[in-house]
Amino acid sequence: MAKVKAPLMSFDARGQIAKSLVFLGWKGLKTVRQYVIPANPKTDDQQQQRG
């Protein structure tokens, strides 16, 4: 759930909305980006690195 103070993008919004948008602060700016599922490559080298 996103936490919003005042109208969106005017003061402060953080978090995600329904796995579609993510509100965050980045280098002092308020930004919105698309929710992305992180990649999880299951290669042998990746599994060995993880232990």
Structural domain includes residue 20: yes
Structural domain includes residue 32: yes
pLDDT at 50 over 80: yes
For 10-50, give the DSSP string. Answer: TSEEEEEETTTEEEEEETTEEEEEE--PPP----HHHHHHH
Domain with 36 in it: 3-41
Structural domain includes residue 51: no
Q: What is the pLDDT of residues 28-48, one digit of tens each?
A: 878 888 999 988 888 999 889
CB of 3 closer than 8 Å to CB of 11:
no
pLDDT at 4 over 70: no
Tally of domains in the chain: 1
pTM value?
0.54
Structural domain includes residue 31: yes
Structural domain includes residue 46: no
6 Cβ contact partners less than 8 Å away, ≥ 6 residues apart? 12
Structural domain includes residue 47: no
CB of 23 closer than 8 Å to CB of 36:
no
Structural domain includes residue 48: no
State percent of the chain over pLDDT 90.
8
Confidence of residue 7 (pLDDT cuts 50, 70, 90): low
